[in-house]
Structure 1
Amino acid sequence: MFAGAGGLSLGLKMAGWKALLASDYDADACSTYRRNFDGVRVLEGDVRRADWTGLKGKVDLVAGGPPCQPFSVAGNQKAHQDERDML
């Protein structure tokens, strides 16, 4: 989740994990991820609207890099009032 260009996925791959699926809202990030990880299914769009039921029983790890702007001093620090703080 919140895969971006795939930095977290690369680290997990180096640690022996295999990505089955990646998701991100940003079209450019998804395009870059697809180039970096050929063969991994990429869901582009809002993770709250994705259908995850097909993965039941097939997933050992859910990893994500959610947006930090709602809490970061580099961001606007609106916390739960920021729409990016959806989890």
Structure 2
Amino acid sequence: MHDAPAQPDVRADVLGFLSRYADSVDDIGSDEPLISSGMFDSMVAVQLIDMIQREYGIEVADEDLDIANFDTLDGIQRFVENKRGKRLP
């Protein structure tokens, strides 16, 4: 019997990444706007997308570049789960 592969902790990974650019990320809520609020700028957004691609082995296509996919922890989690679900084993 094989154990299923561990699901990534997307929120923890993203918060760990964002902690390099903020004094504290402990109070960031799951639906709090990260980019549209000005908390993080577009350069951080680009680096975040790069990290997501490398960390989870997914491709972020042009049509994926929608603020809803990257503006909140919930949105990022949903995006990663959806993209990973579409990948072939």
For normalisation by structure 1, the TM-score amounts to 0.26
More strand by share: 1
More helix by share: 2
